[in-house]
Structure 1
Amino acid sequence: MARAPVLPALLCLAVLALAGGADARKMVGVYELKRGDFSVKMTNWGATIMSILVPDSKGNLADVVLGKDTLAEYVNDNSAFGPLNGRVAQRMARGRFVLDGKVYHTYINDGRNSIHGGHRGFSKVIWTVKEYVAGGDSPYITLYYRSFDGEQGLPGDLDVYATYQLTSPYELSIRTNATALNKATPVNFLQHVYLNLGGEGSGDILGHTLQLSASRYTPMDEELLPSSGRVDPVAGTSYDFRTPTPIGARIRQVKGGKFYGYDINYVIDGEGMRKVALARDGKSGRALELWANQPAMQLYTGNFLNHTKGKGGKLYEQYDGFCLETQAYPDAVNHPEFPSVTVRPGQVYKHDMLYKFSF
């Protein structure tokens, strides 16, 4: 199995020390997938997408992913730049749920609630590199993680695989699956990539146009939880992106918790693998079409960014990036009216995403 040159051994060992209790047999590295002038860099720390390099309409290359410069910064990062979040991504009310009559308590790390699997969710562990092909027609990397029974308070052992592959000149495919081995458990993954199609550090994304295949959404309370359990139509609201609309057109009319901006879950129309979103930056000509097989998607507009240190010494400010996080309904474990996220022994959870870039 070929591997790309990564970082000096001393830096890798330093990252392992920072990981705290990580398996010393696993090394953290940076892995590049490259096809022509399209490339994606990843690390097996948190199954994190570090960069996506894609040309604009004039052929100029730019990195469209917000992030950090070094592995050590990713290890210490709390801004969720690029990782695969799980075992249960998004917020869980009071960090508790009931499954098959038993009450489970998870790690509280977001006020009174848990978020993205707890303080040591999938974004804060070292994944095993199972396969890696850097170049050719379909370069890919497959990562593996065994989530153990009781991890962050969640029941049962879970085998998790995530494959990242360049499937055409400017398409990134992400295929994840998880098998419950011995106990029923909730499962919900999402890839938390901050995007700016003008290039990271190029300013805000308020002028990007966005179109969503979503005619409904789940209203959120002040803690960004769907506490009412309602699913409302977007028609006549500031959440309506059914036709291409600048992200900033109505952003001051909505609040994501304490801040103005979008941090809201949409119910995606249709079923199976289908188009979820289309985003476009008029200045660069870059566009992104996102496809996925999940029932919902969180739109987040970087509301919490505030002089956040990024790549090359840049400081990211509010609205300098946006996230399109395909997922299950947030807090579904506490809402029987939402589609279930329970995976029982022998069952397989599958979450597929496809990022189609054009210019």
Structure 2
Amino acid sequence: MARAVLPLTVLALCIVAFGLSSTANAAIGRKMVGVYELNKGDFSIRVTNWGATLMSVVLPDSKGNLADVVLGYDTVAEYVNGTAYFGGLIGRVANRIANARFTLDGKTYRLFRNDGNNSLHGGHRGFSKVIWTVKEHIGGGASPCITLYYHSFDGEQGFPGDLDVYVTYELSSPYVLAVRMNATARGKATPVNLAHHAYWNLGGHGSGSVLAETVQLFASRYTPVDAALVPTGRLAPVAGTPYDFRAPATVGARVGVPGGVSAGYDTNYAVDGVGVGGEGQRRLRPVAAVRDGATGRAMELWADQPGVQFYTSNGLGGVRGKGGKVYDRYGALCLETQGFPDAVNHPSFPSQIVRPGKVYEHNMVLKFSSF
């Protein structure tokens, strides 16, 4: 099939149209933002090059009814101004870095603080808040795909070294979405930990709470955190704790009950069997499985990263999303495959440092089905 870059909609972002601050407008400049669709029968996704963001995933339930199963907004403008990271590509370093600082090769780097004293998801203008370049877009055919590119400059948000980053979304049969990320360090060593931040509700976005959905996590250990949600540096077994999802359980089975978690999950799990001694040891392994009894939709997640952040959208509340739907607490779940949070400050964690000329790779596959 012919290869082309043909957005469904191309939007010129400007202060007048979107009400952006002068700082945001200066960052956007005259670049254009588009919305791109990939279709494979009754399976489709929409992506925007604002933040390499996944805007929608539409697929059938067990009765053939179509629904969009990711939370998000109707317009790019809402993603520009949003704060929930809906569907965004997170970087340069996902999750938290304690005290917004780290030391690498004897030099201390100070980052932008946007989560109390910590840096979160790359700083106030991480990779989900920049315009990416569309390198390739194949809207249909056997393997619909889109590849986006971003050049992160030396010193951006405080991180050292230039970094060339690519992400590809690709559809295949039956109902498989692959997300492939890679980043090449230029000039200086730098931490890299990319993550994809989709909010999933297999009942359909805006259909209510996911507490009744069933989740299985292929993880026997997790990384306990302090009051600021930064890992303590320990790995602890999930056995005998409310974090144990090795056997399928409903999301809400241990939420708000004695001996459970008080306000939902925001927890990094160590995926079983992932090689952490070197990049070459990593391969796709099962990470999670989710089932929605009301619609019969199911999702399997496979990835090659050592960790996965299980987040039950505890911070949502009254967020107006697509089609006027209102998203509240527990309205979705996130499964963000990643390196361990704050790894740059914990030598015992799998390293996320990428040396000049070396390539960081992160692959995830989402397999949808019905039952």
Shorter-chain TM band:
over 0.9
Structure 1 counterpart of 2:237 = 233
Equivalent-residue separation in structure 2 for 1:10 and 1:122 (angstroms): 19
Residue 210 of structure 1: aligned partner: 215
Structure 2 residue ranges without an equivalent (≥5): 275-282
In the alignment, is the contact (CA less than 8 A) between 2:5 and 2:134 conserved in 1?
no
The answer to whether the 8 Å contact 2:7/2:37 transfers is no
Other structure's SS at 1:74 match: helix
Q: Which amino acid aligns with 1:148?
A: F
SS of 1:29's equivalent?
Answer: strand
Residues 1:350 and 2:361 aligned together: yes
Q: 1:287 to 1:9 in 2, by over 3 A?
A: closer
Name the residue aligned to 1:90. Answer: 95
TM, length-normalised to structure 2: 0.93
Shift of 1:8: 5.6
Question: Which secondary structure state, in structure 2, belongs to the residue aligned with residue 324 of structure 1?
Answer: strand
Alignment of structure 1 residues 268-279 onto 2, 5 Å: 268-271=271-274, 272-279=283-290
| TM-superposition CA deviations, 1:14-42 (whole Å, max 9, x none) | 46976422354531010001000000101
Matches within 5 A, 1:108-127: 108-127=113-132
Question: Secondary structure, in 3 states, of the residue corresponding to 2:362?
Answer: strand
| CA displacement, residues 137-160 of structure 1 (integer Å, 9 cap, x when unaligned) | 100000000000000000000000
Instruction: Note the alpha carbon deviations across 1:58-80, whole angstroms, 9 max, x for none.
Output: 00000000011111000000111
The Cα shift of 1:167 comes to 2.2
Contact 2:60 2:66 in 1 (8 A): yes
**In the aligned structure 2, how far is the partner of 1:268 from the partner of 1:9?**
40
* Residue pair 1:254, 1:261 contacting (<8 A) in 2 also: no
Whether 1:154 aligns to 2:165 is: no
Q: What are the equivalent positions in structure 2 for 1:145-184 lying under 5 Å apart?
A: 145-184=150-189
CA 310–337 in structure 1, closer or farther in 2 if over 3 Å, else same: same
When normalised by structure 1's length, the TM-score is 0.96
Partners of 2:14 and 2:295 in 1: CA distance:
36
8 Å CA contact retained: 2:20, 2:81: no
Residue 6 of structure 1: CA displacement?
Answer: 2.7
Q: What residue number does 2:269 align with? A: 266
> Aligned letter for 1:2?
A
SS at match of 2:77: helix
Give secondary structure in 2 for the equivalent of 1:20: helix
Alignment of 1:1-359 (within 5 A): 1-7=3-9, 9=11, 14=17, 19-22=24-27, 24=29, 26-227=31-232, 229-252=233-256, 253-255=259-261, 260-271=263-274, 272-359=283-370
Distance 1:40 1:12 in 2: 26
C-alpha separation between the residues in 1 aligned to 2:116 and 2:219?
29
> Does 17-26 or 104-113 show the bigger shift?
17-26
Considering only aligned residues, what root-mean-square deviation do their CA atoms show, in Å? Answer: 1.6
5+ long unaligned stretches in structure 1: none
Q: Return closer, same or farther for 1:211/1:129 CA change in 2, 3 Å cut-off.
A: same
Q: How far is the alpha carbon of 1:314 from its aligned partner?
A: 1.4
Deviations 1:212-231 (Å, cap 9, x if unpaired)?
1100001111111112x110
| Letter of the structure 2 residue corresponding to residue 337 of structure 1 | S
Q: Percent identity?
A: 63
